[in-house]
Structure 1
């Protein structure tokens, strides 16, 4: 008889029979939340949900792996319970053989007793009878031993089968739990990824104010950039700005101190809590070297933003071009005009602010609040002087040869790092 085959068949039947009990009932699976609980989650809530789902999956995967190792252990012939069963099986077979031998001894003793001749004396008859009695006693003892061995074989077999069935049932449940946790993790990751995609928002407008169409070598021009929130709700605004000419330097006003801009596009003056209808403004100045040759300059401004639900909100970009005139030239006084800027296919910003400083503030107020505190629409925030305000970054000095593609790529890098 094949012991392994018997146990395998028993375990398989026991595991598959209650499979329905290990599944989630459709009635519970289809349960829906009340309408009051279906509010759109914030981005931070989605991040937490994804992190929690990842932890849950890790725990489920570990439990699954541990149970799988236990399955391999208890299904092995080296398991203590398996050894006990095999020993009991062998003992039962030995007891069975001993019982058969004892029964045969009784039969043989009785045959010898019956075969005694009539001439046998009393001692011979007594000896033959004693042999029968002894054989019957031995057969009885062998029968009792066989019964005990069979009971032990059954007991150890049941113990082994129960252990293996319980282990495999738990393994089956943990396999399903791991699959469910993986699905939940994938769902949470997908939701977080979808929420992190950039949203195009034309109501975040930006412009340069006061940048002339012509800048004379050896002079300094003062201008500013503005980003306005006309979306109807509060945003955290992170403008992207740069200005460049071959022989010049750009600076931004940090409180009362002018600071140079780096030679790359940068997130400038990130401001939290910019109310609907508010505008932030940052002052900039551009100085062109007196020995500069006639040429061209470029500038760009765009409004990046975020809120509780969208970490990447992109407003339209505006590009500006201006001419650099040789020293002593007389500019015509016109302002630089925004140029058509390919914006629809720009990549997602990934960079961080590169210039330190203070965020724009209202006069005497907190960061990104309206200049006129009596109204919440159409207000203008100006550069403040508080050294305790958040640091800002301003861009400048990007070579014209880099082209618009490099500027667009930089913008996407900058917004991503903020998320």
Structure 2
């Protein structure tokens, strides 16, 4: 079987400079048609492989997934151990009170019994504390195994996406070679060779985050904005922002559950789902940008640690063209309650830069801004049959956020 790349390695200009015997080695239209078929099959296989990995990743968030079950069981055991420790500590306190009462009296036997009871209570409390420590360690191990599995799949997805790009480039090259050869021979195009809907691999939808501090105290809420700038050179029928936050404490334990992200859509603050987009904008003009208001709240119980916000935009059009933009990563530190927030922006490149003749901010329901790139009702996507190619993006970002902050912690401790 002749590989498509080998067939395309002979250029017509070079072949024309060779003797007739050599020009006869130029791939025939039949051979080029076969190369196109093979390239298309390879492209579809690459897309299918990426989709399978996305589904595998999505499955890791299901409560019935073995690693999720392990985490849930470990947390229940840890809760039981914590309750047992609380009971044991209370028993020590009660035994100490009994001993103090016995010491105030003259009954030697009561004193002895109280001392023995206190000794037993302290031994039980020590055992309960050790059990709690062991249970907490099992929670950390279960969460780490779950997160490591997600990160491993996310890395495979990243490679699969590269494979899709490579296969797409090979397919397009094969189709062009065939079209050029048929045009040179004066043959019409083949009706059995439809053009497959494809997503652009050109990252022309640029994200930029502003207003997110580099240090955020537990128990506080901060408002910031995600800007997506349309550098595609055309009006985009719909733009979907994906945003995720993640965090770990200083012991490397995932504390993402203590971070809560909302976006302002049509005048209302709505929680950003882990597996869906954070909003939707319609009719974003070329050179314009859209802004999405975001709000991050951190529980008061959150320990000091490291956090990250990851953002990316996808777009789709009624003609079934679509694409995904650059990935924005913005890291921040989580400080204890009352420590205050920094005025320094998180990450780098947070200040939005003008993109062409950028229009005013899209209307977010506050009554300000232009309807150039109007905010759509969440869940619309009716015009985007190809936007499913971005499915699961936010989930991948969530795992990516945890990976980023763990890497940052490792670098800080090195």
Q: TM-score when scaled to structure 1? A: 0.38
Q: Which has the larger radius of gyration?
A: 1
Q: TM-score when scaled to structure 2? A: 0.39
